[in-house]
């Protein structure tokens, strides 16, 4: 399933407008914090689709039947652009385990690129809920490669993908490879440039959060 969190206007619409706005983007701290807030809202929304179990707890005044999550999810992201969105997930899933992957786009002279993956640390995933934060779901290439690598750590019970902005092509590519996953998008755009940037999108999420980089 694909969930577009902008379909109904909410506070999230305000934060989406701010991360897209070139003037407001100049405030790096605000950009990161808005990404984080989008992660927080997505965490709350997707939590309604997680399995819960009834449990009896003792309050100072008596007993109460409550609902608690069936175990903790595993949160993950691809360094570096995904860090603020991941932080938002972690603020809400505050006891979760985490996995990290380092990857980057290696650009060629003709404008094409390939994804280079360098580092991965991950707990066992068998039977766990896996939630992956990818701020910009463009072609989906890095996300698909990351998920394929993560599958080497066991088959998750379910995969949730959290993204600030997705484009239709990327969603199709991901669902072709991982048809059972859920995608939670702050918004969905239609266009993708030849260099793999989403239009209108917001630009380069990693650079906006952390500053521009020099190609190595
Ligand atoms: N990554 C970004 O940061 N922006 C895009 O538009 C696509 C991928």
From 32, 84, 135, 174, the mutation candidate for ligand 1 (largest count of ligand atoms within 8 A of CB) is 135
Q: What is the 160 CA–ligand 1 centroid distance (Å)?
A: 20
CATH 3.40.50.2020 applies to domain 2-49+72-210: yes
* pTM: predicted TM-score of the whole model, two decimal places: 0.94
Pocket of ligand 1 (CB under 6 A): 81, 136, 138, 196-198, 201, 204-206
pLDDT tens figures, 160-213: 999 999 999 999 999 999 999 999 999 999 999 988 999 999 999 999 999 998
Of the pLDDT bands very low, low, confident and very high (cuts 50, 70, 90), residue 110 is confident
Bridge partners (DSSP) of residue 183 are 2, 161
Q: Domain segments of the chain: what residues?
A: 2-49+72-210
From 113, 146, 166, 203, the mutation candidate for ligand 1 (largest count of ligand atoms within 8 A of CB) is 203
Locate all alpha helices (DSSP H) within the chain, ordered by sequence: 11-20, 28-47, 83-92, 141-150, 168-177, 205-210
């Amino acid at each position: 399933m694909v969930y577009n969190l902008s379909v109904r206007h909410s506070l999230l619409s305000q934060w989406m407008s701010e991360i897209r706005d070139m003037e407001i983007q100049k405030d790096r701290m605000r950009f990161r914090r808005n990404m984080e807030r989008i992660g927080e809202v997505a965490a709350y929304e997707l939590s309604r689709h997680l399995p819960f179990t009834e449990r009896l707890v003792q309050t100072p005044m008596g007993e109460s039947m409550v609902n608690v999550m069936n175990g903790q999810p595993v949160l993950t992201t691809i360094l570096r652009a995904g860090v603020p969105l991941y932080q938002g997930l972690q603020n809400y899933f505050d006891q979760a385990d985490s996995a990290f992957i380092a990857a980057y786009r290696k650009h060629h002279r003709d404008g094409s690129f390939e994804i280079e993956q360098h580092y991965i640390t991950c707990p066992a995933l068998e039977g766990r809920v896996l939630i992956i934060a990818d701020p910009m779901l463009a072609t989906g290439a890095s996300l698909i490669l990351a998920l394929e690598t993560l599958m080497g750590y066991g088959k998750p019970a379910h995969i949730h993908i959290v993204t600030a902005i997705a484009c239709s092509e990327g969603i199709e590519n991901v669902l072709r490879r991982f048809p059972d996953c859920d995608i939670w998008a702050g918004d969905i755009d239609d266009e993708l440039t030849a260099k793999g940037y989403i239009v209108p999108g917001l630009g380069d999420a990693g650079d906006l959060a952390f500053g521009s980089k020099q190609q190595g």
